[in-house]
Amino acid sequence: MAAVYVATQAAHLLVELPGDQYGMWATNSSTVDDTLGDPNLLDIESEALGIGAAGVSVLLSIAMIVTLILLIQEALRHRSEVTG
């Protein structure tokens, strides 16, 4: 579980930031160095899709952080029940 969390968060923080995702859909042009200026695969320019893509990315990151916190709390609760 931790490996999935780390890989997903690293991708959102290091590879493709929400701003990059927004720009790709809102302007139909990549802002990432390797693919600078390339259009998205659907060749669509839509601010709504940009907001949606960035929003989903941020919400998934938040959901993963909350899930990790809840899992840690549950593990600590279970540990204290077993030892106490």
Question: CB–CB of 84/57 below 8 Å?
Answer: no
pTM: 0.75
CA distances from 84 to 28, 72, 74 (A): 58, 18, 15
pLDDT (tens digit per residue) in 45-58: 999 999 999 999 89
What is the number of other CB atoms lying within 10 angstroms of the CB of residue 84? 5
Q: What does pLDDT average to over the chain?
A: 88
Q: How confident is the model at residue 32 (pLDDT cuts 50, 70, 90)?
A: confident
| 5-14, 20-29, 60-69: the lowest-pLDDT one | 5-14
The one-character DSSP state at 13 is I
User: Given a cut of 80, is residue 29 above it in pLDDT?
Assistant: yes
Give the mean model confidence (pLDDT) for residues 64-70.
Answer: 89
